[in-house]
Structure 1
Amino acid sequence: MADYSMYTDQELAAFLKQGDEVAYTEIFARYNYILHSHAVNKLRDREEARDIIQEVFTYLWQKKETITFTSSLSGYLYGAVRNAILNRVVHKQVQEKYFDSLKAFSLRGEVVTDHLIREKQLREFIEQEIALLPPKMRQVFEMSRKENLSHKEIAEKLDISEQTVSKQVTNAIKILKTKLGVVVYLWFIMDK
């Protein structure tokens, strides 16, 4: 078997496009640590950085045949991480705006029935979507997000690897982001 560590990024990218798992593993080994450090530096959150790196590499494998590396493999990976970080930042800003508006609303002491009904409906919708996740994924996601357990703690409790936990959480977030993204966006527009 060839030593893939001797191949250039360009050669690895070509192998990857052909579905070569060993090339993918070498790319992961070559860039995982440095991309994770880069993401931690920007986010100041190791778990969130790990989730982003997992998302980027999952996407890389899923789209291996169709991805075009316009500059270089490293350029593509850094760009993908940068874009994922920006998406997280924007998402956090939307969340903060939502929480700030709820806080301001509660401080006014007003009871607006319509607003409370829509908020309850949104919460119920989110819970329904979480309930529709595959059982194992839902269990891991709820332990992570509702019980605030670390990936390591979840892995120990369920006797699975941290990588499996990370993948399950990442996949759950992707599914929920896709299903809830438009609903949350429309809810914010209606709330103005």
Structure 2
Amino acid sequence: MTLYTTLTDHDLVAFLKDGDKTAFTEIYNRYKGLLYIHAYNRLRNQQEADDVVHELFASLWTKREELFLKTHLSGYLYQAVRNRIIDVISHKKVESAYIVSLQHFIDHSEAVTDHLVRENELTALIEKEISALPPKMKEVFELSRKANLSHREIASKLELSEMTVKKHVNNALKILRSKFGLISFLIYLGHH
């Protein structure tokens, strides 16, 4: 019988790739505390730090067969947590900007019909710009934002790599933001 606590990270990863739950548990027990502390120090929120670590390990298990480490396991896990922390922080900033913008609009709004007219005009302009995107970028963007498909689902549906899907979505967002500004575009996305 293998004593998992004595195995190297490299050996644990090999067992993990084969679906060994005990190896996964050992990796979890070995790194969860350090990763949580790192996440908490950056986020200053216990629930968010717990969520980041939980999502990382859930992803590690579901993607175990395709796991390819360019570095040590500890470096991979640290980088993965760091990326998730950045996602949480940037999501908070976008959410905060949207709320501030919305509150400002409510505080200074004119008649509701005027708002609806402006919103419809903005929506029409954005739809026009979306239509002007290159065909594949437009298709990917609409599946992402209107059909609410994940990058993985889009990649599977269109037979593209997830990286290609991500690039199409990011490029479409850059184009649209440059034409309409961030706040206007966020308000549009909030309705779709």
Q: Taking structure 2 as the reference length, what is the TM-score of the superposition?
A: 0.61
Provide the C-alpha distance between the structure 1 equivalents of 2:185 and 2:103, rounded to a whole number of angstroms: 18
Instruction: Confirm or deny that 1:189 pairs with 2:185.
Output: yes
Provide the C-alpha distance between the structure 1 equivalents of 2:16 and 2:115, rounded to a whole number of angstroms: 50
Three-state SS of the structure 2 residue aligned to 1:2 is coil
Contact 1:36 1:49 in 2 (8 A): yes
Provide the C-alpha distance between the structure 1 equivalents of 2:32 and 2:149, rounded to a whole number of angstroms: 29
Provide the C-alpha distance between the structure 1 equivalents of 2:186 and 2:50, rounded to a whole number of angstroms: 34
Structure 1 residues 91 and 99, CA gap change in structure 2 (3 angstroms): same
Provide the C-alpha distance between the structure 2 equivalents of 1:80 and 1:7, rounded to a whole number of angstroms: 22
Structure 1 residues 44 and 114, CA gap change in structure 2 (3 angstroms): farther
Provide the C-alpha distance between the structure 2 equivalents of 1:102 and 1:61, rounded to a whole number of angstroms: 39
Alignment correspondent of 2:85: 85
Contact 2:18 2:65 in 1 (8 A): yes
Instruction: Confirm or deny that 1:67 pairs with 2:67.
Output: yes
Shift of 1:67: 1.3
Alignment correspondent of 1:53: 53
Alignment correspondent of 2:133: none
Contact 1:115 1:191 in 2 (8 A): no
Amino acid at match of 1:26: E
Structure 1 residues 190 and 40, CA gap change in structure 2 (3 angstroms): closer
Shift of 1:179: 3.5
Alignment correspondent of 1:9: 9
Pairs aligned (count):
131
Provide the C-alpha distance between the structure 2 equivalents of 1:114 and 1:77, rounded to a whole number of angstroms: 50
Alignment correspondent of 1:100: 100
Contact 2:35 2:53 in 1 (8 A): yes
Three-state SS of the structure 1 residue aligned to 2:64 is coil
**Greater radius of gyration (CA):** 2
Contact 2:16 2:24 in 1 (8 A): yes
The higher-RCO structure (CA 8 Å, 6+ apart) is 1
Provide the C-alpha distance between the structure 2 equivalents of 1:28 and 1:111, rounded to a whole number of angstroms: 56
Three-state SS of the structure 1 residue aligned to 2:68 is coil
Alignment correspondent of 1:170: none
Unpaired runs of 5+ in structure 2?
Answer: 120-146, 151-168, 177-182
Residues 97-153 of structure 1: CA deviation (Å, up to 9, x unaligned)? 1001011112214234475697xxxxxxxxxxxxxxxxxxxxxxxxxxxxxxxxxxx
Amino acid at match of 1:19: G
Shift of 1:180: 8.3
Provide the C-alpha distance between the structure 2 equivalents of 1:6 and 1:85, rounded to a whole number of angstroms: 30
Structure 1 residues 25 and 190, CA gap change in structure 2 (3 angstroms): closer
RMSD: 2.8
Provide the C-alpha distance between the structure 2 equivalents of 1:180 and 1:105, rounded to a whole number of angstroms: 30
Contact 2:52 2:84 in 1 (8 A): yes
Three-state SS of the structure 2 residue aligned to 1:65 is helix
Unpaired runs of 5+ in structure 1?
Answer: 119-177
Q: Taking structure 1 as the reference length, what is the TM-score of the superposition?
A: 0.61
Provide the C-alpha distance between the structure 2 equivalents of 1:70 and 1:54, rounded to a whole number of angstroms: 23
Residues 35-56 of structure 1: CA deviation (Å, up to 9, x unaligned)? 0011000000011100010100
